[in-house]
Each structure stands twice: as C-alpha cells, then as structure tokens.
Amino acid sequence: MCNTEKHCCERLDNCTYRKAGKQECQPDVSYYLRENARIIPSGTTIIDLDQYPPPDLVIEIAKTSIIDDRTAKRELYESLGVAEYWVLDVERVQILAYEMIERGSRRINESKVLPGLRMEILEQALQQSRETDQSQVGQWLMQQFQG
C-alpha cells in the first residue's frame, strides 16, 4: 500500500466501479493515490462512485480491444471523472496516456498524477520485459528514476 505519505497508493485489480446513470466498468488496474489511497475500505471489489471518488489512474491492457479502449472506454472514464487513463497496447509495445480534462481528454507524454514519469521510460521497460528478467527491468527502472 504505502511506503511514504508522498508516494502513497492503493492498487485495485479488476475492481467494479458503479455510478448512477453511467455504465459500470471494470478496468484491468486502477490506482488511488496520496490522500485517496486510504479512502476505499480494504477488500472492496465494487466501488460506488456516488459515495467514493473515482480512481486517480486507470489502466487497460489492450491486445484485441485497442479500438474500444481508445474510444468508448476512454469516454466512459472521462465521464466518471478519472484523472488519468493509460492504454497499454501490447502488440505495439506502446502506452497511450490521457489526461482527463473538462469535457474530454488529451494525450500526454508525461503523467500528471505521477509527475516526472514519462511514457517513453515505461515503454522501454515494457519492451525490456519481453527480452529480460523482471528483476533486471525493475533495476533498470529504478536507475532511470534515480538518475
């Protein structure tokens, strides 16, 4: 969950989000960051967005669903008030990151919810994970963030 207050986060896998009048969704991975990280009760798998805030970051892993992830799902997350949305295109080894803004979204190259995190670094790590050991990829990522 947390190691420091500044970098506090809660990862939720295959959690269902519901909001009155909206389509429910189940992103592959979602994160609540900083002060929101402790807001969702432990073990919760269905989150009522009329009661709790939306996640800060939603990630979809796309292999065959890339068109839906880039369009319909992005628009759904916009309407739910998610701050940032990433689509990991596993075929192209590419991360499409979107900052949700009023009445829409825009592509970004650097995360707004995780300042300093550039998509190109994550894409390099994703490419390396196909060719090398996960622990080596982790070490390489740590060097990128420290350097």
Q: How confident is the model at residue 1 (pLDDT cuts 50, 70, 90)?
A: very low
Q: What is the DSSP string of 16-42?
A: EEE-TTS--B--SEEEEEGGGGGTSPT
Which CATH number among 3.40.630.10, 3.90.1570.20, 3.40.50.1010, 3.30.1540.20 corresponds to the domain 9-113?
A: 3.90.1570.20
From residue 101, alpha-carbon distances to 52, 84, 105, 126 in Å are 20, 9, 5, 27
- Give which of 108, 62, 58 is closest to 83, Cα–Cα: 58
How far apart CA 54 and CA 17 sit, in angstroms, is 8
- Give which of 59, 67, 125, 61 is closest to 98, Cα–Cα: 59
Look at residue 145 in the predicted model and tell me its pLDDT.
Answer: 67
Look at residue 29 in the predicted model and tell me its pLDDT.
Answer: 92
Residue 39 has pLDDT above 50, yes or no: yes
Record the tokens describing residue 124, joined without a space. 């390099």
Between 107 and 36, name the one with better pLDDT: 107
Look at residue 5 in the predicted model and tell me its pLDDT.
Answer: 44
- Mean predicted lDDT score pLDDT of the chain: 88
Q: How confident is the model at residue 8 (pLDDT cuts 50, 70, 90)?
A: confident
Record the tokens describing residue 116, joined without a space. 């300093």
Look at residue 120 in the predicted model and tell me its pLDDT.
Answer: 93
Q: How confident is the model at residue 3 (pLDDT cuts 50, 70, 90)?
A: very low
Rg (CA), the chain: 15
- Looking at the DSSP bridge assignments, the partners of residue 110 are 118
Per-domain boundaries in the chain: 9-113, 117-147
